[in-house]
Amino acid sequence: MIGIVNYGAGNIFSLTSALSRLGLSYGMINTESDFHQYSHIIIPGVGHAGAAMEKLNHTGLVESIRNLKKPVLGICVGMQLLTSHSEEGDAQLMNIFPLETKLFDRDLGIKIPHMGWNNIETKNNLLFEGIENQTQFYFVHSYFIEYNAIFEIATANYGLQYSAAIQKDNFYGVQFHPEKSGAAGEQLLLNFFKIKQ
């Protein structure tokens, strides 16, 4: 069963709806003692990374998350929270990935937010099994995770190359929204659930 970290950062109705459609059961993680009930953990998130981190800190769940050995998937801002720092609100984050979350640079001639369907270059990874390389996913964000060859499992190009998905041990993060990315996004959620501890 999938546990969703419930820290109040944005709407999760679309995510839970997607899980229901896929027949994946889920529950909410509100306190540390909830973790043991779940085999897979999702950290959702939309909005302001600094504000989201403040809320997450408030739950007291950060150390438990950092110590998890179960598969963890951060989505959008939930992925950014796994990095060390965000320029959004100059926020110190969970530092599971020693990476920086940065604001897109207008001088690259791009519109901000990056909004819409963008193709990604995927590496051979369980998360993307059965998903063709260069498939398009739905993105909505103004901040991005700097490209890093060690952790990246998918890259996107928007003015520059950046990490669309990252992995470190049992921790996964995707910048796009699988719950809004059509059939490919649903496949990704199913793949995540298949990842063994």
Partner 1 sequence: MESQSNDIFIRMLSKRIIPCLDVKDGRTVKGVNFVDLKDAGDPVELAWQYAQQGADELVFLDITATHERRKTMIEMVKSVARQLNIPFTIGGGITEIADAEALLNAGADKISINSAAVKNPQLIADLAKVFGVQFVVVAVDTKLIAGRNMVHLNGGRLTTEIETEHWIKQAEELGAGEILLTSMDHDGTKQGFDCKLLDRITKMINIPVIASGGAGKVEHFTEVFTTTGVDAALAASVFHFGEIPIPYLKNELKKHNIPVRL
Closer to partner 1 by Cβ: residue 49 or 195: 49
Closer to partner 1 by CB, 60 or 182: give it: 182
Query: What are the helix (H) ranges across the chain?
Result: 13-21, 49-59, 62-66, 77-80, 182-194
- Angle, to 10 degrees, between the axis of helix 182-194 and the axis of helix 13-21? 80
Size of the site for partner 1 (CB under 8 A): 43
Q: How far is the CB of 193 from partner 1 (least distance, A)?
A: 16
Residues 126-145 contacting partner 1, CB under 8 A: 136, 138, 140-142
State the minimum distance, in angstroms, from the CB of residue 162 to partner 1: 11
Specify the 3-state DSSP secondary structure of 54. Answer: helix
Interstrand relation of 72-75 and 40-43 (parallel, antiparallel or unpaired): parallel
156 interacts with partner 1 by CB under 8 A:
yes
Question: In a 10 Å sphere around its CB, with 0-12 CB exposed, 13-18 middle and 19+ buried, how is residue 126 labelled?
Answer: middle
Using CB under 8 A, which of 18, 93, 164, 166 touches partner 1?
Answer: 18
> Nearest-CA neighbor of 155 among 144, 164, 146?
164
Identity at 196, one-letter amino acid code: K
- Report the residue number, 139 or 171, with the smaller CB distance to partner 1: 139
Asked if residue 174 lies in contact with residue 164, where contact means CB atoms within 8 angstroms, the answer is yes
Give the active site residue among 76, 85, 114, 141: 76
- Which parts of 42-71 interact with partner 1 (CB under 8 A)? 46-48
Is residue 157 a contact residue for partner 1 (CB under 8 A)?
yes
Q: Which residues are catalytic?
A: 76, 177, 179
Give the binding site for partner 1 (CB under 8 A). 10-11, 13-14, 17-18, 20-21, 46-48, 106, 108-119, 136, 138, 140-142, 156-161, 177, 179-183, 185-186
